Structure 1
Amino acid sequence: MDIFNFPLAFQFASPGPIIFSLGPLSVRWYGLLIASAVLIGLTLSQYLAKYRNVHPDLIGDLAIWLVLAAIPCARIYYVLFQWPQYAKDPGDIIAIWKGGIAIHGAIIGGIVAALIFARLKKISFWQLADIVAPSVILGQAIGRWGNFFNSEAFGRPTDLPWKLYIPPAQRPSGYINFEYFHPTFLYESLWNLAVFGLLITLFFRSLKGKPHLKLGTLFLVYFATYSAGRVWIEGLRTDSLMLGPVRIAQLVSVGGMLLGLAGLAWLYIAGRSLPDVVPSEPPLNSSAQSANPPNKTP
């Protein structure tokens, strides 16, 4: 049987952005997924923090900072590059439930917030970054499904068996007569899950000293690997934020990949420590600590 003639098995079609409505109140998939990603990420980060001698309550405080910074920055970043659209209807600027956030804006906002938080709490920024990196990429994997329910952030037309159906109202100009598109939300979600698996494996193997990881390693690996995947996935999309002929996400991702690789080279080839807001301590690496994670307030 020709797999390309096997109908329906791998075809996706959004049931719509709204889960249910109660009068004027609508509960949307996008918001539910973001909230779920935050809660799951917080739980995971607090669990991992115990293995790094960081009290879980500190991670809870950090999560508030990250949410308050990341979500507005993600929206501002998106709106700035889509300003002609929002200039016509400024009321839609705050309508984040309709979609339209950019992960690079969230990352920038989150990094700035974490730097300030680390400085105020007198704890290593890289320690915090390593702890939350697996949760961040897992949250991105979950959040990408919001694009599916909103029928947005899809790729070029395709006849592949895992094609995504897009309603006519959601199709970009020039693609009105095409029904099926690359499910780039799925590509990125799967890529992010693979990066999550890599980070979690490195985290727990490092507790046994195999390998010994310097502070900042996990965050830099996240930065480099996520960015590498985003470069090629973004090339498939039809709705990229543009700066002239350049896809902004590809440009930023190439920069992120190079920064991540440069940081890893600085750590493991040059043998230097990363600049930090406070003097940092090495992560814990003994098997005893792995079996019995500490619970110490920094």
Structure 2
Amino acid sequence: MNTPVVTELFFPSPTVSAFALGPLTIRFYALAILAGIVAGVWLTARRLRFRGGSTAQTLDIVAWAVPFGIVGGRLYHVITDNQLYFGPGKDPWGAVRIWEGGLGIWGAVALGLVGAWIGARRAGVPFTAFVDAAAPGLLIAQGLGRWGNWFNNELYGAPTDLPWKLQIHNMNQATGQAVTGPGGAPEVLGYFQPTFLYESLWCLGAASLLMFLDRRYKLGAGSVFALYVVLYTAGRFVFELMRSDPANTILGLRVNTWVSGLLFLAGIALFQALRSRSRSEVGTRSPDPRTDPAEPIQRTNT
């Protein structure tokens, strides 16, 4: 009689995070970020057209917002996790090697908003119209970008025996390969909560909810972005409590846990202050029944 083979269930992680293309090394982390940006820009352009804007205006603003956001995200990461790059035995040049991972969303959003404000002024688009149009796309970009952390075998939670536990390898980020053991097999560090996956799914679900609420209730100028802050930080607060990777703490809580909680409260206050305003718009135009919502846009000066 044959003994049945019991297969352990787990969510696998890649053993390769990069590949060579001629003289170039392509990082999957960078590709995930790029995929998120492309999807987010596409949705933002579509939503800005609903508000009377154009795809060209979206691209003009994004050309300012994205570089500012990447720089801001890296600065936040390096400042809040400076021990990774500075100190005895550390490599300070690692602070500029963004392709190895490490973007702080709070810095990316903060400096990205500065870039968006500059771009919106140059493009003749009200700032609130752009950020309200961009909010769901930003969530989608974050959700897709989290898969870069999957390729890097990072951002995981506590050890677990759940069927969807995440297998984590010992990765050499410099080579983009998993470290191999004596037998040539990739080294497995253990099985953990897939917090990157939880956050990715939360972002995609929150984007759908945000678009539904905006369509259903015609949220006031600026309040769509405020609600983005509320939805994202609510999930991020929980996921930060679950994570087990090293991080700086204040009074026993991770820095990002504190930031998430404070921004959640600020987002609620901002939403309450803005939700009764008129809907954010770029200008008057005749709606296209093939692509536009049923109601036409009439206001021009929000």
Q: Same fold (TM over 0.5)?
A: yes
Amino acid at match of 1:233: F
User: RMSD of the alignment, in Å?
Assistant: 3.1
- Aligned residues of 1:142 and 1:189 also touching (Cα < 8 A): yes
Within 2, Cα distance between the matches of 1:189 and 1:240? 20
Q: Residue 263 of structure 1 corresponds to which residue in structure 2?
A: 270
- 1:229-240 equivalent positions in 2, closer than 5 A: 229-239=235-245
Q: Cα distance, 1:85 vs. partner?
A: 2.2
Matched, 1:83 2:82: yes
- 1:70-219 equivalent positions in 2, closer than 5 A: 70-87=69-86, 88-168=90-170, 179-203=190-214, 205=215, 210-219=216-225
Q: Cα distance, 1:280 vs. partner?
A: 7.3
- 1:11-30 equivalent positions in 2, closer than 5 A: 11-18=11-18, 20-30=19-29
Q: Residue 173 of structure 1 corresponds to which residue in structure 2?
A: none
- Percent of aligned pairs sharing the same letter: 36
Unaligned runs of 5+ in 1: 171-175
Matched, 1:40 2:39: yes
Cα distance change of structure 1 residues 43 and 168 upon mapping to structure 2, 3 Å threshold: closer
Q: What do the CA deviations read for 1:159-203 (whole angstroms, capped 9, x no partner)? A: 111111112458xxxxx9961011100000000011011122233
Q: Cα distance, 1:73 vs. partner?
A: 1.0
Q: What do the CA deviations read for 1:88-134 (whole angstroms, capped 9, x no partner)? A: 21111111111111111111111222233334445322111111111
Unaligned runs of 5+ in 2: 173-186
Q: Cα distance, 1:225 vs. partner?
A: 0.6
Q: What do the CA deviations read for 1:123-166 (whole angstroms, capped 9, x no partner)? A: 32211111111110000000000000000111111111111111
Cα distance change of structure 1 residues 272 and 55 upon mapping to structure 2, 3 Å threshold: closer
46-55 vs 116-125, greater mean Cα deviation: 116-125
Q: What do the CA deviations read for 1:227-263 (whole angstroms, capped 9, x no partner)? A: 0000001111122532443311111111211111111
Matched, 1:223 2:229: yes
Q: Cα distance, 1:221 vs. partner?
A: 1.2
Cα distance change of structure 1 residues 70 and 283 upon mapping to structure 2, 3 Å threshold: farther
Cα distance change of structure 1 residues 129 and 109 upon mapping to structure 2, 3 Å threshold: same
Q: Residue 179 of structure 2 corresponds to which residue in structure 1?
A: none
Within 1, Cα distance between the matches of 2:270 and 2:194? 32
RCO higher in structure (CA 8 A, sep ≥6): 1
Cα distance change of structure 1 residues 6 and 138 upon mapping to structure 2, 3 Å threshold: farther
Q: What do the CA deviations read for 1:205-239 (whole angstroms, capped 9, x no partner)? A: 3xxxx423211121111110100000001111122
134-143 vs 83-92, greater mean Cα deviation: 83-92
Q: TM-score normalized by structure 1?
A: 0.82
Matched, 1:31 2:33: no
Within 2, Cα distance between the matches of 1:47 and 1:59? 9
Q: TM-score normalized by structure 2?
A: 0.81
Secondary structure, counterpart of 2:229 in structure 1: helix
Match of 1:242 among 245, 248, 264: 248
Cα distance change of structure 1 residues 266 and 192 upon mapping to structure 2, 3 Å threshold: same
Within 1, Cα distance between the matches of 2:247 and 2:166? 21
Cα distance change of structure 1 residues 181 and 220 upon mapping to structure 2, 3 Å threshold: same
Q: Cα distance, 1:13 vs. partner?
A: 2.1
Cα distance change of structure 1 residues 214 and 248 upon mapping to structure 2, 3 Å threshold: same
Amino acid at match of 2:62: A
Cα distance change of structure 1 residues 61 and 93 upon mapping to structure 2, 3 Å threshold: same
| Structure with the higher helix share, 1 or 2 | 1
Within 2, Cα distance between the matches of 1:30 and 1:14? 12
- Aligned residues of 2:15 and 2:171 also touching (Cα < 8 A): no
Secondary structure, counterpart of 1:179 in structure 2: strand
Amino acid at match of 2:132: D
In the alignment of these two chains, the number of paired residues is 275
Within 2, Cα distance between the matches of 1:89 and 1:63? 33
179-188 vs 120-129, greater mean Cα deviation: 120-129
Cα distance change of structure 1 residues 9 and 159 upon mapping to structure 2, 3 Å threshold: closer
Amino acid at match of 1:51: F
Match of 1:253 among 260, 265, 281: 260
